[in-house]
């Protein structure tokens, strides 16, 4: 189970969704704004969760492979955790125009990732575990506000063979919301991945919810996709939500995207 662009997706038919073929993994540039670093403080720093796009310096970041586990038409919702086991992860992602750094209003920020056992909804079993599969857990997105901010609640991801802990992300504009709570159409501006501090992930991996995943864990430095580029390659700023690892983390990043 890897995100290698040459990997063939499972022949399994995902529940109620159409599987989208792998992206080419092209390195067409988008822009990320600001810096991202890993911190592990006991009390959140208010400044760490308040992106300031206008004062930031735009820096180039790469697009990264979509991977074989994307499902289209997912729900527009701020909480994608459903009933999955794991510690809280509160994401604050800001989308800005790459030329002007002006925040983008009503851009859809969509994410998807595996659960603590390394399984993706719609593809459960690919990492060797048997669990219920509804085709929707840990998938979805939200529209940004006038400040360009999208806030999504989920759980800290697990891992699967050959990849470090990560989250997939897309940014769309001009989508159409559908009566069933999902979306269609629009223009896809960015495809990338979000990454996590190895120091923090090592702590999370020792928690009981994650220790049951006995698949060997690939570290950030060993990963075949992450290129040590920091914020420019999707490395999140992580801030502890409490005094213990199990309290969870807030993750922030500002993404600059190139509009058509």
Residue-wise pLDDT for 116-151, tens only, equals: 999 999 999 999 999 999 999 999 999 999 999 999
Q: Which residues pair with 60 in a beta bridge?
A: 31
Give 40's pLDDT tier (boundaries 50, 70, 90).
very low
With cut-offs at 50, 70 and 90, classify the pLDDT of residue 42: very low
The pLDDT of residue 237: 96
* Residue whose C-alpha is closest to residue 252's, from 238, 241, 231: 238
Q: Say if 258 falls within a structural domain.
A: no
Host H or E run for residue 198:
helix 198-205
Q: Mean pLDDT over all residues of the chain?
A: 81
Q: Is residue 20 part of a domain?
A: no
pLDDT score at 66: 93
Q: Is residue 6 part of a domain?
A: no
Is residue 97 domain-resident? yes
User: Is residue 178 one of the residues assigned to a domain?
Assistant: yes
Paired sense of beta strands 183-184 and 176-177, if any = antiparallel
Q: 23 in a domain, yes or no?
A: no
In a domain, 13, yes or no: no
Tell me whether residue 25 is in a domain: no
pLDDT-derived band of residue 102, with 50, 70 and 90 as boundaries?
confident
Q: How many domains does the chain have?
A: 1
For residue range 43-99, list pLDDT tens digits in order. 333 333 344 443 345 555 568 889 999 999 899 999 999 999 999 999 999 998 877
Measured at the CA of 140, the angle between CA 136 and CA 142, to 5 degrees, comes to 155
Q: Of all residues in the chain, what percent carry a pLDDT higher than 70?
A: 76
Question: What CATH number did the domain enclosing 116 receive?
Answer: 2.60.130.10
Residue 110, pLDDT above cutoff 70: yes
What value does the mean pLDDT take over residues 203-221? 97
- What's the pLDDT tens digit per position in 216-251? 999 999 999 999 888 878 999 999 999 999 999 999
Measured in degrees and rounded to the nearest 5, phi and psi for residue 127 equal -105, 15
Full domain range(s) for residue 115: 32-251
Helices (H) and strands (E) in the chain — how many of each?
2, 12
CB 108 within 8 A of CB 171: yes
pLDDT value at position 224? 94
- Residue 18: name the closest of 182, 161, 159, 148 by CA: 182
**What residues contact 27, with CB distance under 8 A and at least 6 apart?**
62, 63
Q: pLDDT tens across 144-198, in order?
A: 999 999 999 999 999 999 999 999 999 999 999 999 999 999 999 999 999 999 9
């Amino acid at each position: 189970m890897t995100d290698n662009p040459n990997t063939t997706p499972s022949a399994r038919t995902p529940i109620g969704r159409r599987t989208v073929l792998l992206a080419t993994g092209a390195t067409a540039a988008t822009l990320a704004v600001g810096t991202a670093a890993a911190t592990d403080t006991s009390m959140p720093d208010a400044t760490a969760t308040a992106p300031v796009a206008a004062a930031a310096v735009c820096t180039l970041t790469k697009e990264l492979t979509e991977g074989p586990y994307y499902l289209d038409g997912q729900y527009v919702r701020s909480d994608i955790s459903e009933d999955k086991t794991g510690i809280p992860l509160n994401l604050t992602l800001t989308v800005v125009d790459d030329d002007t750094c002006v925040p983008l209003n009503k851009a859809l920020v969509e994410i998807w990732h595996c659960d603590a056992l390394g399984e993706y909804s719609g593809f459960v079993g690919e990492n060797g575990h048997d669990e219920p599969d509804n085709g929707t857990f840990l998938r979805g997105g939200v529209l940004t506000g006038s400040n360009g901010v999208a806030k999504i609640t989920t759980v800290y991801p697990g891992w699967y063979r050959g990849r470090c802990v990560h989250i997939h992300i897309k940014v769309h504009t001009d989508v159409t919301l559908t009566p069933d709570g999902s979306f269609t159409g629009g223009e896809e501006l960015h495809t990338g991945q979000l990454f996590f501090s190895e120091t923090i992930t090592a702590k999370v991996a020792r928690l009981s919810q994650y220790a049951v995943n006995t698949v060997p864990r690939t570290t950030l430095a060993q990963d075949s996709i992450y290129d040590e580029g920091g914020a420019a390659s999707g490395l999140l700023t992580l801030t502890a939500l409490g005094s213990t690892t199990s309290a969870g983390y807030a993750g922030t990043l500002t993404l600059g995207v190139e509009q058509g």
